[in-house]
Structure 1
Amino acid sequence: MNAEAPRSISDTWRAATRAAALVAIDPVGLGGASLRAGPGPVRERWLALLRHLLPEGTPIRRAPAGIDDDRLLGGLDLVATLAAGRPIVGRGILAEADGGIVVLAMAERLPGAVAGRLASVLDGRAVRLEREGLAATLETHLGIVALDEGREDDERPPEAVLDRLAFLIDLGDVSFRETGDPGLTPEAVAAARARLAGTSVSDAQLAALCGAAASVAIPSLRAPLLALRAARALAALDARADVSDEDVAEAFRLVLAPRARAFPPAEADVDEGEDGADEPPPPPDDPPPENDEPADETSEEPAQERPLTADELQNLVLEAAKAVLPEDLLAQLRSGLSGLKTSRVRGETTARAKAGVTGRPAGSRPGEPKRGARLDLVSTLRAAAPWQPLRKRSEPTGPGTPRVAVRREDFRVGVRKPTIRRTTIFAVDASGSSALNRLAEAKGAVELLLAQCYVRRDRVALVAFRDRAAELVLEPTRSLARAKRALAGLAGGGATPLARGIDAALACADAVRRKGEDPAIVLLTDGKTNIGRAGTPGREAAREDALAAAREARARGVVGLVVDISRAGQPLAQEIAAAMGARYLALPYADAERLSQAVSAALPPQGG
């Protein structure tokens, strides 16, 4: 097995370079490729090969992570518009790359909205601008190379983009010394590009690709069409006018195999192996002629010249697929590691909360409307107004001269104070003493608070502590149904580990803060504790541990609220609130609705 490892990795690089050649031949028809590899010489060598094989002068644009719509799609060119006195459309990266390639950096972090715009451009082959008073259509034919730097299996570019790219290449296991020269030249690729339109494919080959895609459970209808285009490009690269069966099999390996979600059915293996190979053909009805040589010639020639049927070709393609499909494919699919999921977009919350992009207005500042910042027209004109007499005297006037002379230094962009979403973490005492007192009413109050958080689009989390442990019953979510199910299944009984409940809520708050959101802890307790941080019983030690955890929450600056749900106010609950720097609410004899109203009023407004 160890001796075969370098060969398989070398095959991976060979297939990747073959895919690069096909992208260079037909970037628009094939859509491009997703290249999963970390930054390094292997990825750069593949990109350099693609640039080498493309025609000289082909535009290649790089789209950084977090690109805004103005730079991606284009928009109003403010400087040219003010100079000309009429709206001038500025071209974005996609329009600038017409006829070439756009390289998406960190595509696994691509927001869903940007992925949708890219998909629209790939489908319609045009950028349509309908905003800022503009209505323009810019013809755009391009391919995309999505650089995937994800480390986890579910960190992938959005499916809307992957579905439109022919090749899903994974170079994560390829070292630089195993990236040999593929022997591809720009001249051979240019010749293939010229003959691509004249290549033809048979109906049986098309049916075989569609059937093979269905046999490995590929749900996309685009995948077999991309494989068909790849087969035509392979034939053109090998200087053939007709697509061969080997081209169809290689197109399956390059395009369809990385998308496979199941092994081919066993019947595909049996047709040729059992019925065709082991058993001799049935004897002919007529006796053979006396001369054996002519009989052999006449029987062999039709077998060699007869084209394969669609079913036979599909079986041939599936046989070739088994060599490249991983043996543990089904196990990976069952555990959710197929690599075809929609990716999680990390860092999107922080990007939305950047000052100057979203939030409530907070004045203006000098600057140009870039990276999502919007022009403050009134402030811009106000800044330009004192200079009008001087500018009109120093510059020639005429019919085309704008009435207001605005310079770049006059530009003012709006400043916005970001609105940070809140995640409310409910830490609920589910011990026996609390259950006897107010646990049922506390559940009702939390459910009403969950509904209010849902309306505000805030996230909620639920921590329950009882017996000797505290657990995160519900991770931060905006799903009201999930929160209600977790709350309904919350059981009561056992001892009271108050310190561990506060620690668990703090751990959840730290995770929320790392994602750019504002955490708030609502602690519902009856003010009793008898289990310490170490899990050992003892009221005094448990009390000291709870106060220490509360002081740690205050040191971390977490907004807090302590709700005393006992039938009579407890001193320890007040001490916990003071140590946390949180507001204390004692609500004896209050029903769930009043408790919900009191908690909503006690929490300060969220950031922004």
Structure 2
Amino acid sequence: MTTPMSPWERVETALAALAVDPAGLGGMWLRARSGPVRDRVVAGLSVIPLPQRRLHPSIGDEQLFGGIDLAATLASGKVVERAGILAKPALLVLPMAERATPGLAARLAGALDQNIGHCLVALDEGAEPDEALPVALNDRLGVHVDLDALPWGETDPLELDPEGLAAARARLAAVRAAPGILEDLTIVAVRLGIDSLRAPMLALRMSKALAALAGQSEVETDDVAAAVELVLAPRATQFPEPEPEEPPEDDTPPPPEDPQDDPDGGDEGEQSLDDLPLQDILLEAAQAALPADLLAQLAAGKAQRGQGGAGAGAKRKGNRRGRPIPSRRGRIDGQTRVDIISTLRAAAPWQTIRRRDSLIERKLHIRTDDIRVKRYEEKSDRLLIFVVDASGSAAMTRLAEAKGAVELLLAEAYARRDHVALVAFRGEGAELLLPPTRSLVQTKRRLAALPGGGGTPLAAGLRLALEVATTASGRGMTPTVALLTDGRANITLEGTANRAIAAEDATRMAQALRLNNLPGMVIDMGMRPERSLKVLADAMGAPYIPLPRADANRLSSAVSAVLDA
């Protein structure tokens, strides 16, 4: 097997393969910040034999699929339609692809699935691991290239022969692959933790394109190994584990081999590469191309919240502010804003019929069904609900830390549109000491009289937090629950002292928070990490954060880190 390709060799090989089979490979996910390295790669897209069309993350359906040419329709008195970008095969370049909405991703994915001949190049400029291409597009783009760690000095001008690429395109249809190659690619994908069925099929298309570039009529091992580097290795979610060896059926040791039987005189235990199974060769190619920080990337991915994250407020639709989204049919009620252009576009096809049937002569006939109102997508306010353990002898110290953390977080709340609520549990129940607020003055006054001491009714605190979160969600907020405690529950929901039943009640309430899709965190402020709190965090589906001897600044920093993750 050949040595692994360098990062820039992968770029050159990927561009050449895309030029040979742009529609079959789907396109390229190019992860890189704007700069000279990315500009050099984007300039190389000119070798792909398709007209280039540049998209925008907020492009509308009219530009994609076409619609009515309003100016031409009004001028001619008959409907004049305008074709969209997706009407003919094109090289679609999508800058800021990490900002693409799920709707746009679904539309582009549908266009790729229709096999019209489109090729999509997604320019991912995300700076953080959670800023990435939508999964719907990630799964359909055959080539993944990451340029973030590639310096300018390791790049060269791209020199791709247009005549050679044209000959390879003409040769592609005649390239054949052995029947077992797709099966081997599928097994390798499973060993790498890839759960997409498209990945091995795209790797096979890549193998054929590379064979066509080499002037071959049949896919060879080196072509498949290079396809694994370009297609499967960047998608890997785990390091391949060796398969368990089957015990020999016979315990009798094999007879010693005669050194004279080895014509090459090789060392004992050495095996020729040609004798290795294809799967082993492909796994070696994949392991050589795996990023060195794969484990760190996987850990960062697991830390992200599955329900949209606790960091930002949930998206909702409104009609007053936010990012514009496609308009919808509506009525003039004095509160919504009328989208004049969309209204005229909806009325244009009917003007000839309406002029003929109308008793009143007018140049433009607008009906109620034509009215379109503007819509905007805005982010809801975030509510951070502190559930503080006010029980035990150490309550005063813990409460002082919680008070300071709440004040520090509220000091930055206005810019982030955050609200804070405070639930304290002690004795036999829980109490809402601070309803959702953004007022720092009111918060300081309420926190000054926060009591402490008594038992640990943890379940009661979680139940009250669930009630507050449910009410806040109904008001359009995005709640997050932060539990601060240092011990196990010992008071049941009924207010009786029973440690076993109290633990079961707390677990049920934690599961109720999870079933209601409420993100949260469990902060253990005890001197030693409490195992039961780790179990409780797992039941909540929330991260467990041990912070012994934490002060207000450390507590505030830990909460902010989880919210911004």
Tell me if TM exceeds 0.5.
Answer: yes
1:150-174 CA-partner distances (Å, limit 9, x unpaired): 1122221011111101111001111
Q: 1:314 aligned to 2:308?
A: no
Q: Could you tell me which residue of structure 2 aligns to residue 17 of structure 1?
A: 12
Q: Could you tell me which residue of structure 2 aligns to residue 548 of structure 1?
A: none
Q: 1:458 aligned to 2:450?
A: no
> Are the counterparts in 1 of residues 176 and 219 from structure 2 also a CA contact under 8 Å?
yes
Which is greater in Rg?
Answer: 1
**Displacement of 1:214:** 2.1
Matched letter for residue 421 of structure 1: S
Q: Could you tell me which residue of structure 2 aligns to residue 189 of structure 1?
A: 165
Q: Could you tell me which residue of structure 2 aligns to residue 28 of structure 1?
A: 23
Residue 38 and residue 280 in structure 1: after superposition, are their counterparts in 2 closer, same or farther (change >3 A)? Answer: farther
> Are the counterparts in 2 of residues 457 and 478 from structure 1 also a CA contact under 8 Å?
no
The aligned runs of 1:404-419 (5 Å cut-off) are: 405-406=363-364, 414-415=373-374
Q: Could you tell me which residue of structure 2 aligns to residue 480 of structure 1?
A: 516
- Distance in 1, Cα, partners of 2:294 & 2:111: 33
- Out of 54, 62, 75, the position equivalent to 2:67 is 75
Q: What count of residue pairs does the alignment treat as equivalent? A: 418
> Are the counterparts in 1 of residues 312 and 382 from structure 2 also a CA contact under 8 Å?
no
With normalisation by structure 2, the TM-score equals 0.60
- Distance in 2, Cα, partners of 1:348 & 1:483: 12
The aligned runs of 1:376-415 (5 Å cut-off) are: 405-406=363-364, 414-415=373-374
- Distance in 2, Cα, partners of 1:423 & 1:331: 29
**Displacement of 1:94:** 2.5
**Displacement of 1:259:** 1.2
Which moved further from structure 2: 35-44 or 321-330?
A: 321-330
- Distance in 2, Cα, partners of 1:159 & 1:73: 22
- Distance in 2, Cα, partners of 1:178 & 1:240: 30
Matched letter for residue 30 of structure 1: L
Matched letter for residue 7 of structure 2: T
- Distance in 1, Cα, partners of 2:379 & 2:239: 46
Matched letter for residue 322 of structure 2: K
Secondary structure at 2:103's aligned position in 1? helix
- Out of 261, 276, 283, the position equivalent to 2:237 is 261
Q: Could you tell me which residue of structure 2 aligns to residue 172 of structure 1?
A: 148
- Distance in 2, Cα, partners of 1:100 & 1:343: 33
Residue 431 and residue 181 in structure 1: after superposition, are their counterparts in 2 closer, same or farther (change >3 A)? Answer: same
Which moved further from structure 2: 206-215 or 477-486?
A: 477-486
- Distance in 2, Cα, partners of 1:259 & 1:417: 35
Secondary structure at 2:430's aligned position in 1? helix
Q: 1:54 aligned to 2:26?
A: no
- Distance in 2, Cα, partners of 1:376 & 1:347: 34
- Out of 120, 137, 144, the position equivalent to 2:120 is 144
> Are the counterparts in 2 of residues 108 and 343 from structure 1 also a CA contact under 8 Å?
no
Q: 1:243 aligned to 2:219?
A: yes
Residue 248 and residue 84 in structure 1: after superposition, are their counterparts in 2 closer, same or farther (change >3 A)? Answer: same
Give RMSD over aligned pairs.
Answer: 5.2
Secondary structure at 1:65's aligned position in 2? coil
- Out of 325, 329, 341, the position equivalent to 2:290 is 325
**Displacement of 1:209:** 1.7
1:111-143 CA-partner distances (Å, limit 9, x unpaired): 222212222221123xxxxxxxxxxxxxx4201
1:410-436 CA-partner distances (Å, limit 9, x unpaired): x99745687763434445675459656
- Distance in 1, Cα, partners of 2:56 & 2:40: 20
Residue 155 and residue 335 in structure 1: after superposition, are their counterparts in 2 closer, same or farther (change >3 A)? Answer: closer
Secondary structure at 2:6's aligned position in 1? helix
Q: Could you tell me which residue of structure 2 aligns to residue 300 of structure 1?
A: none
- Distance in 2, Cα, partners of 1:188 & 1:32: 20
Q: 1:107 aligned to 2:97?
A: yes
The aligned runs of 1:94-133 (5 Å cut-off) are: 94-95=86-87, 98-125=88-115
Matched letter for residue 62 of structure 1: R
- Distance in 2, Cα, partners of 1:343 & 1:242: 46
Secondary structure at 2:176's aligned position in 1? coil
> Are the counterparts in 2 of residues 54 and 186 from structure 1 also a CA contact under 8 Å?
no
**Displacement of 1:485:** 9.7
**Displacement of 1:85:** 5.0
Residue 348 and residue 20 in structure 1: after superposition, are their counterparts in 2 closer, same or farther (change >3 A)? Answer: farther
With normalisation by structure 1, the TM-score equals 0.56
Residue 166 and residue 361 in structure 1: after superposition, are their counterparts in 2 closer, same or farther (change >3 A)? Answer: farther
- Distance in 2, Cα, partners of 1:325 & 1:418: 39
**Displacement of 1:104:** 1.1
- Distance in 2, Cα, partners of 1:336 & 1:484: 17
Q: Could you tell me which residue of structure 2 aligns to residue 220 of structure 1?
A: 196
Residue 335 and residue 75 in structure 1: after superposition, are their counterparts in 2 closer, same or farther (change >3 A)? Answer: same
Secondary structure at 1:362's aligned position in 2? coil
Task: Give unmatched runs, 5+ long, in structure 2.
Answer: 247-254, 265-272, 396-423, 433-460, 487-509, 524-532, 538-551
Q: Could you tell me which residue of structure 2 aligns to residue 198 of structure 1?
A: 174
Task: Give unmatched runs, 5+ long, in structure 1.
Answer: 1-6, 126-139, 271-278, 289-294, 298-306, 393-397, 468-473, 491-499, 516-608
**Displacement of 1:92:** 2.8
> Are the counterparts in 2 of residues 111 and 348 from structure 1 also a CA contact under 8 Å?
no
Q: 1:65 aligned to 2:52?
A: no
- Distance in 2, Cα, partners of 1:338 & 1:281: 53
- Distance in 2, Cα, partners of 1:161 & 1:252: 19
- Distance in 2, Cα, partners of 1:404 & 1:454: 49
Residue 91 and residue 350 in structure 1: after superposition, are their counterparts in 2 closer, same or farther (change >3 A)? Answer: farther
**Displacement of 1:64:** 1.3
- Distance in 1, Cα, partners of 2:68 & 2:159: 46
- Distance in 1, Cα, partners of 2:244 & 2:517: 45
Residue 418 and residue 106 in structure 1: after superposition, are their counterparts in 2 closer, same or farther (change >3 A)? Answer: closer
1:481-527 CA-partner distances (Å, limit 9, x unpaired): 5479979989xxxxxxxxx79x979x98xx99x99xxxxxxxxxxxx
- Distance in 1, Cα, partners of 2:285 & 2:244: 12
- Out of 361, 377, 380, the position equivalent to 1:421 is 380
- Distance in 2, Cα, partners of 1:377 & 1:418: 22
The aligned runs of 1:281-292 (5 Å cut-off) are: none
Residue 282 and residue 220 in structure 1: after superposition, are their counterparts in 2 closer, same or farther (change >3 A)? Answer: farther
Residue 269 and residue 259 in structure 1: after superposition, are their counterparts in 2 closer, same or farther (change >3 A)? Answer: farther
1:28-68 CA-partner distances (Å, limit 9, x unpaired): 110001000000111111111121x123xx31111112222
The aligned runs of 1:575-594 (5 Å cut-off) are: none
Residue 429 and residue 313 in structure 1: after superposition, are their counterparts in 2 closer, same or farther (change >3 A)? Answer: closer
- Distance in 2, Cα, partners of 1:99 & 1:325: 33
Matched letter for residue 423 of structure 1: R
Residue 440 and residue 107 in structure 1: after superposition, are their counterparts in 2 closer, same or farther (change >3 A)? Answer: same
Secondary structure at 1:440's aligned position in 2? strand
Matched letter for residue 21 of structure 1: A
- Distance in 2, Cα, partners of 1:405 & 1:457: 44
**Displacement of 1:265:** 3.4
Secondary structure at 2:123's aligned position in 1? strand
- Out of 179, 187, 191, the position equivalent to 1:211 is 187
Q: Identity percentage over the alignment?
A: 34
> Are the counterparts in 2 of residues 460 and 478 from structure 1 also a CA contact under 8 Å?
no
Residue 105 and residue 350 in structure 1: after superposition, are their counterparts in 2 closer, same or farther (change >3 A)? Answer: farther
